[in-house]
Amino acid sequence: MKTRITELFGIQHPIIQGGMHYVGFAELAAAVSNAGGLGIITALTQKTPADLAREIAKCRTMTDKPFGVNLTFLPVVSQPDYPGYVKAIIDGGVKAVETAGNNPQKWLPILKEAGVAVIHKCTSVRHALKAEAIGCDAVSVDGFECGGHPGEDDVPNFILLPRAAEELKIPFVSSGGMADGRSLVASLALGAEGMNMGTRFMATKEAPVHEKVKQAIVAASELDTRLVMRPLRNTERVLNNAAVERLLEKERTLGDKIKFEDIMPEVAGVYPAVMQRGDVEIGAWSCGMVAGLIHDIPTCKELIDRIMNEANAIIRKRLEGMLAA
């Protein structure tokens, strides 16, 4: 399948693996890229730029296909070494970067000069237009369904994607609620030129997360996620568990007096325990509503091949058949 996204990133299929904390390691990125998609290493999971450089080098030994790096710009007191991470990306020969969080404008000139294509994650049309205006090559449009941070507008993809198509000139991919060939065809129909999957790629054989995490996603329905940190305007969609229930009770009790410090036990630094040790009840961890569409744990190649076969069948048989009637 050829779209502006496959052309931009030099990939076979218009499928991107989103950057995910303590999930986007070389093993997963390489598996997705080898299957014809665009695998993504998560920069800030690596504690230092030197660690990221090693992870990029490791990925190079596992695939000869294009892969990218996610770099999230966070509003935090202790800033990560962003110049070091950008240098590691460029020195590592990476040609695709997924930016997220704060405006990446400061870093675009050096990335562009190095021939890096930049796709920025956006949860609204206005943010997508800003990304286009500052020179991003593409955007990933995140609907309200997505795991992680859906923004504060609560617009689902059935509205957000065609709105983006009305406004944008640069290509964009859908993100949030994406799982299969139906997702891809629907995204294309609504104006996207590919799709980004996060939660779906967590439930794959190569995802370097604990088996209990994968099984929790398979067992969950579309009703099993919750929105946390809304009072702090840092909304995150997470899989419901005991820690999330405690967090939500604090939000109800403290109301507008709540501070981040009040919920730190449930959200701060929980990802290593969840993803690596399988302690899925210890804290709040990102998961999309798409869990309701995830029923198995295939390899990345099995998943991507299945998606493309499904998409092909829907377009060539089901939809064409309706036109011929």
Asked if residue 124 is part of any domain, the answer here is: yes
- CATH number for position 192: 3.20.20.70
The tens digit of pLDDT for each residue in 117-163 reads: 999 999 999 999 999 999 999 999 999 999 999 999 999 999 999 99
The reported pLDDT for the residue numbered 77 is: 65
Low-confidence ranges of the chain (pLDDT < 50): none
State the Cα–Cα distance between residues 125 and 142, nearest whole angstrom: 10
Asked if residue 289 is part of any domain, the answer here is: no
Asked if residue 276 is part of any domain, the answer here is: no
Asked if residue 195 is part of any domain, the answer here is: yes
Asked if residue 250 is part of any domain, the answer here is: no
Residue with tokens 């093993």: 27
State the Cα–Cα distance between residues 219 and 36, nearest whole angstrom: 28
CA-atom Rg of the chain in angstroms: 19
How many domains does the chain fold into?
1
Asked if residue 234 is part of any domain, the answer here is: no
Residues with Cβ within 8 Å of residue 95, at least 6 apart in sequence:
9, 10, 66, 68, 115, 116, 117
Asked if residue 164 is part of any domain, the answer here is: yes
Asked if residue 96 is part of any domain, the answer here is: yes
Closest by CA to 62, choosing from 88, 32, 86, is 32
The reported pLDDT for the residue numbered 74 is: 82
What range does the domain containing 60 cover?
A: 4-206
State the Cα–Cα distance between residues 245 and 226, nearest whole angstrom: 9
Task: Answer whether 18's CB lies under 8 Å from 196's CB.
Answer: yes
Give the largest Cα separation in the chain, rounded.
62
